[in-house]
Amino acid sequence: MTNIQRAAAYIDLGILEENYNTIRSKLSPEVGLLCVVKADAYGHGAIEVSRRLESLGAFYLGVATIDEAVELRTSKIKIPILVMSGIMPWDDVSTLLQQNLTPVVYDFDTLARICEMKKDFQTPLRIHLKFDTGMGRLGFMTDDASKVIDRLKGAENIKVDGLMSHFSSSEIRDDYGMGQVNAFRKVTEEFVKRGFRTKVIHMANSGAITNYPDAHFTMVRAGISLYGSHPTLELKKQLPTRPTMKFTSRIALIREFPAGHALSYGRTYVTSKKTKVAYIPVGYADGYPRSLSNKGSVLINNNRCSIIGRICMDWFLVDITDLNEVNIKDEVILLGESKSDVVTADEIGKISDTIPYEILCKISKRVTRVYI
């Protein structure tokens, strides 16, 4: 069995393009679209995904780390790249300049560091400044806007290309979220008043694209929606993007067991009747959640079949007793569509008590990516 038969993630770049256009249709023509490709494009493969997004006219790409950005530059990706986790204390700032990368700056220590280095820059370091309007994670406090501006005065080799913030709960529209929008607007107004006219102002992520059109400003950031998953069912209705990934395996073995037989680790499943079992050569080492043990389901020959017993590192078991015709090598859809049904990352996330982001990001390198 070749690796592509054992486990493959098929990435449909045509659906990715459809999703990009669906998101774009929700925006005014003058609003740019940053496409988030961090974490290997949420498990989809950052290089291939970025190439397609660049060809579609994406305004920016968003990554987490400098290493992720360098990988894209090495692969000849030319469009602006925002390093959203910023400059770590151990990062070499010269790499940002050499690779034409734009880091996010969100704390005074980092701001002081680059201001002290500015005389050594051969070209201006372009940055986005992040303000904490209520997320409580990264960002200057909004009351510090004037202090940030004072620190940047005279820093000729540092160019503030963007201002940004982040919603704490963009999946719902409420007074707290609107308070964040208003707080960020005051920050942008302070920068204009003090003579800073930044090219890019952004706050809205996937949820806010539909829930907070007031926060579109000059750019929005599309992440999970670009890959066809959604924080809530209501957002799926408002922004109907489709899953771009189909994660499959094949049946490697079929066995039958009598009633009363325990299956897999911990004997958590005991057959109640004569049971036909399919063995699938995928496990949590491939990023398939162990939390789906005795809970999840897969699609085999357009039928939904239950996972039984504990999911192992390299295997899991499926009850195929009720299938009329099933054979070794038949395709098993762990994530994606058959002709009559679909298993989504949203569904798996709900069963696993997590979010679709984690499900997609954890599909491991052991699973071959195939691009359509």
Contact between residue 231 and residue 171 where contact means Cβ atoms under 8 Å apart: yes
Tell me whether residue 365 is one of the annotated catalytic residues: no
Distance CA 282, CA 315 (A): 5
265 assigned to active site:
yes
Q: Residue 99 and residue 91: Cα distance in Å, rounded?
A: 14
Distance, in Å, from the CA atom of 159 to the CA atom of 126, rounded to the nearest integer, reads 5
Q: By CB neighbour count within 10 A (0-12 exposed, 13-18 middle, 19+ buried), where does 364 fall? A: middle
- Angstrom distance (rounded) from CA 225 to CA 23: 8
C-alpha–C-alpha distance, residues 190 and 131, integer Å: 13
Which string of b and e fits 181-193 if b means at least 16 CB within 10 Å?
Answer: bebbbebbebbee
**Of 147, 193, 237, 265, which one is the catalytic site residue?**
265
Number of CB atoms found within 10 A of residue 342's CB: 15
Among candidate residues 262, 129, 120, the one with its CA nearest the CA of residue 199: 129
- Candidate list 38, 106, 269, 357, residue with the active-site label: 38
Find out whether 293 and 331 touch, Cβ atoms under 8 Å.
no
Which residue from 228, 251, 339, 217 is spatially nearest to 6, judged by alpha carbons?
Answer: 251
Token pair belonging to 168:
């704490």
Alpha carbon distance 277, 256 (integer Å):
6
267 Rama class: left (phi>0) / alpha (psi -120 to 50) / beta: left
176 membership: H or E segment, kind and range: helix 175-193
Question: How are beta strands 60-63 and 200-202 bridged, if at all?
Answer: unpaired
CB of 126 closer than 8 Å to CB of 161: yes
Which active-site residues does the annotation give? 38, 265
